[in-house]
Amino acid sequence: MNYIKKFEQLFAEKYQMRQSFSFWKGRVAMYAILKALGIGPGHEVILPGYTCVMNVNPIKYLGAKSVYVDIEPLTYNINVNLLEEKITRNTKAIIAQHTYGYPCEMDSIMDIAARHGIPVIEDCCLALGSTYKGKLCGSFGKAAYFSFQWNKPLTTGIGGLAITNETHLADKISEICEQEMNKPSFKAAAMLSAQRLVYRIFIYPRTTAIATNLFRWLTKKGLVIGSSSICEFMPEMTEDFFMSMSGSQAQAGLRQLRNLDSNIAHRRIMRIIYDKLLDESGYNISKVPEFMDPVLVRYPIRVNNKEKAIEEAPIHGVEIGSWFECPLHPAETPMHLYDYQEGMCPVSERACREVVNLPLHPRVSEKTVRRTIEFIARFIPVS
pLDDT tens digits along 237-284: 998 999 999 999 999 999 999 999 999 999 999 999 999 999 999 888
- CATH number, domain at 336? 3.90.1150.10
Cα-Cα-Cα-Cα torsion 208, 211, 217, 221, nearest 10 degrees, comes to -130
Domain finish residue from 127, 158, 180 = 180
200 contacts: CB under 8 Å, gap ≥ 6: none
Read off the pLDDT of residues 195-205 as tens digits, 9 standing for 90 and up.
887 777 766 67
Percentage of the chain beyond pLDDT 70 is 92
Quote the pLDDT of residue 136: 97
Tell me, yes or no, whether 250 lies in a domain.
no
The answer to whether the beta carbons of residues 124 and 137 sit under 8 Å apart is yes
Tell me, yes or no, whether 382 lies in a domain.
no
Longest dimension (CA), the chain: 57
* Mutual angle of helices 3-14 and 247-258, in 10-degree steps: 40
What is the domain extent for residue 234? 186-242
What is residue 377's three-state secondary structure? coil
The pLDDT of residue 6 is above 70: yes
Neighbours of 336 (CB within 10 A): 9
Tell me, yes or no, whether 280 lies in a domain.
yes
Q: Where would I find the H helices in the chain?
A: 3-14, 26-36, 57-61, 80-83, 106-116, 167-180, 186-202, 208-220, 247-258, 260-280, 306-312, 346-354, 366-376
The answer to whether the beta carbons of residues 36 and 28 sit under 8 Å apart is no
Secondary structure (DSSP) of 205-254: TTTHHHHHHHHHHHHHTTSS--SS-GGGGSS---TT-SBPPPHHHHHHHH
* Nearest alpha carbon to residue 234 among 348, 344, 336: 336
* Nearest alpha carbon to residue 328 among 73, 105, 57: 57
The pLDDT of residue 377 is above 70: yes
Tell me, yes or no, whether 247 lies in a domain.
no
Q: Whole-number mean pLDDT of the chain?
A: 92
Instruction: Tell me, yes or no, whether 308 and 360 share the same domain.
Output: yes
Q: Which residues of 120-136 are buried (b: 16+ CB within 10 A; e: fewer)?
A: bbbbbbbbbbbbbeeeb
Total count of residues recorded for the chain: 383
Instruction: Tell me, yes or no, whether 108 and 46 share the same domain.
Output: yes
Q: How confident is the model at residue 380 (pLDDT cuts 50, 70, 90)?
A: confident
Quote the pLDDT of residue 193: 85
Rounded Cα distance, 42 and 24, in Å:
28
Read off the pLDDT of residues 120-153 as tens digits, 9 standing for 90 and up.
999 999 999 999 999 999 999 999 999 999 889 9
Terminal-to-terminal C-alpha distance of the chain: 53
Instruction: Tell me, yes or no, whether 235 and 311 share the same domain.
Output: no
Tell me, yes or no, whether 255 lies in a domain.
no
Instruction: Tell me, yes or no, whether 161 and 40 share the same domain.
Output: yes
* Number of structural domains the chain divides into: 3
Instruction: Tell me, yes or no, whether 283 and 202 share the same domain.
Output: no
The pLDDT of residue 216 is above 80: no
Rounded Cα distance, 8 and 113, in Å:
28
* Nearest alpha carbon to residue 204 among 369, 374, 298, 318: 318
Quote the pLDDT of residue 225: 72
The pLDDT of residue 44 is above 80: yes
Tell me whether strands 19-23 and 160-164 are parallel, antiparallel or unpaired. Answer: antiparallel
Mean pLDDT (whole number) for 330-339: 95
Instruction: Tell me, yes or no, whether 103 and 153 share the same domain.
Output: yes
Mean pLDDT (whole number) for 184-203: 82
Domain finish residue from 180, 208, 230 = 180
Quote the pLDDT of residue 250: 97
Report CA-CA distances (Å) from 75 to 93, 164, 358. 22, 25, 15
